[in-house]
Structure 1
Amino acid sequence: MEKIKQIETSLDLSQDSLISDTKSSAGDKYETSREMIQQDLDRLQRQLKEAQKDQQVLQSIPSLPPTKENRARLGSLVKTETGLYFLSIGIGKVTCLDQIVFVVSLQSPIGQLLLGKGVGDSFTFQQKSHVISAIQQAEE
């Protein structure tokens, strides 16, 4: 994943900055600089963990066993009268083949509503009622 490579590169640069940061005559300035670099490192490490979790989710989709019932789950493309939803990781709105697809995680509010639903089931999201007209699984 390109995002992981970018975060790792940023981590390396921040760690190099922390190591090369030498104590200047102004002690407070040095401490502030080191603290800011450390905060950047902490933020980047959190981002890296999240990106790695997302990568694991994406890699697990093709290996999901088929189910007898066609229910919305990880890797499902769910069609409603108001749009298409792909249950995966939370990316947001994506245009694919001139069609808008909302790529949502199972932990998102709409992901929670879609999970386990079947064709013909309805749900309410943002005070609007939606009916599922089709579900396609990733392995199909």
Structure 2
Amino acid sequence: MVSAPKEQLHRSCGNFIEERLSRIQKNIASLQEALASESKSSAGDKHETGRAMIQLEREKLGNQLAEVQLLQERFNKVPMHRNSNFVGLGSLVYTSKHHYYIGISAGEIKVNGESFYAIAPDTPVGKLLMGKTVGEEVVFNGSEFRITEIG
């Protein structure tokens, strides 16, 4: 059985990716329009500079799109039904300081008034938590905390 907070966190992470993807796609479409209108102009050097700037922006957005697609691929591998005695991908980790959802880095997410940090397993805190069990202590940036529950 999947816990309600885990389900909400998983859904929030999915929404986070979809929103980023949508925003990038809109920006790409907007640049395509700008490029088309620049093509109609023939103002010499100014025209070429405008086209070059649009091309650079398009390359940046293309890189961002590739990053989000990779993030989406990683997120699709996060199991919804992970119940284990040790922290792994898809775990909900309660500690004496903060609560974490091991999936993708999506920042702080509030569920039922509680704060959870959606983090990837390859982040500094994620690396420290992976493989740990209830009762183990972790030290991060000089702050010590204990794992109290894994869901």
In structure 2, distance between residues paired with 1:113 and 1:39: 38
Aligned length: 133
In structure 1, distance between residues paired with 2:119 and 2:79: 17
What is the percent sequence identity of the aligned residues?
A: 31
Structure 1 match to 2:27: 10
1:1-140 residue pairs with structure 2 within 5 A? 1-22=18-39, 23-27=41-45, 29-62=46-79, 70-136=85-151
AA in 1 matched with 2:63 = R
In structure 2, distance between residues paired with 1:94 and 1:39: 34
Q: What is the Cα-based RMSD across aligned positions, in Å? A: 1.9
Quote the offset at 1:104 in angstroms: 0.8
AA in 1 matched with 2:119 = V
In structure 2, distance between residues paired with 1:42 and 1:82: 41
In structure 1, distance between residues paired with 2:19 and 2:109: 17
Whether the 8 Å CA contact 2:80–2:90 is kept in 1: the answer is: no
In structure 2, distance between residues paired with 1:126 and 1:85: 16
In the alignment, structure 2 segments of 5+ residues that lack a partner are 1-17
AA in 2 matched with 1:12 = A
Greater Cα offset, 40-49 or 73-82: 40-49
Whether the 8 Å CA contact 2:86–2:132 is kept in 1: the answer is: yes
Q: With the length of structure 2 as denominator, give the TM-score of the two structures.
A: 0.78
In structure 1, distance between residues paired with 2:23 and 2:126: 28
Quote the offset at 1:19 in angstroms: 3.2
In structure 2, distance between residues paired with 1:94 and 1:63: 17
AA in 2 matched with 1:59 = N
Q: With the length of structure 1 as denominator, give the TM-score of the two structures.
A: 0.83
Quote the offset at 1:110 in angstroms: 0.7
In structure 2, distance between residues paired with 1:62 and 1:86: 12
AA in 1 matched with 2:62 = Q
In structure 2, distance between residues paired with 1:25 and 1:87: 53
Specify the SS of the correspondent of 1:49. Answer: helix
Normalized per residue, the structure richer in helix is 2
In the alignment, structure 1 segments of 5+ residues that lack a partner are none
